Amino acid sequence: MRFINVRELRLRPGEVWKKLKVEKDLILTLNGKPFAILNSTDEEKLEQTLSLLRRSRALEAMDRLQRYSKEKGLDKLTDNDIEKEIQSARRER
């Protein structure tokens, strides 16, 4: 995976696009830190690529929720405990 900085993109966009065609993915950095991922695609693959990115984000969010749940001990709740929490939240609305 190749890294490029924002300045390089701004000053030499044509070179960046050429690199992107070869590399397929480029990490865009801002102040030396990863900021974005440039991913090559085309009209035929656009919807599939977007769908895969969205699915990946959803899996990442689910993973974060599961880790948080384990850290807080919430993974040990029984079905009855969960139902009580749901009812309590509904009453507060």
Encode pLDDT of 8-58 as tens digits. Answer: 999 999 999 999 999 999 999 999 999 999 999 999 999 999 999 999 999
The alpha carbon of residue 51 and the mean position of all alpha carbons in its chain are separated, in whole angstroms, by 12
Q: What Rg do the C-alpha atoms of the chain give, in angstroms? A: 21
**Where is 22: in which H helix or E strand?**
helix 13-23
Three-state DSSP state, 45: coil
Q: Indicate the pLDDT class of residue 93, thresholds 50, 70 and 90.
A: confident
To the question of pTM greater than 0.75 for the whole model, the response is no
Task: With a cut of 90, say whether residue 1 has pLDDT above it.
Answer: no
> Can you tell me the distance from the alpha carbon of 82 to that of 31, in angstroms, rounded to the nearest whole number?
44
Sheet containing 25-30, strands listed edge to edge, beginning at the edge strand earlier in sequence: 2-5, 25-30, 33-39
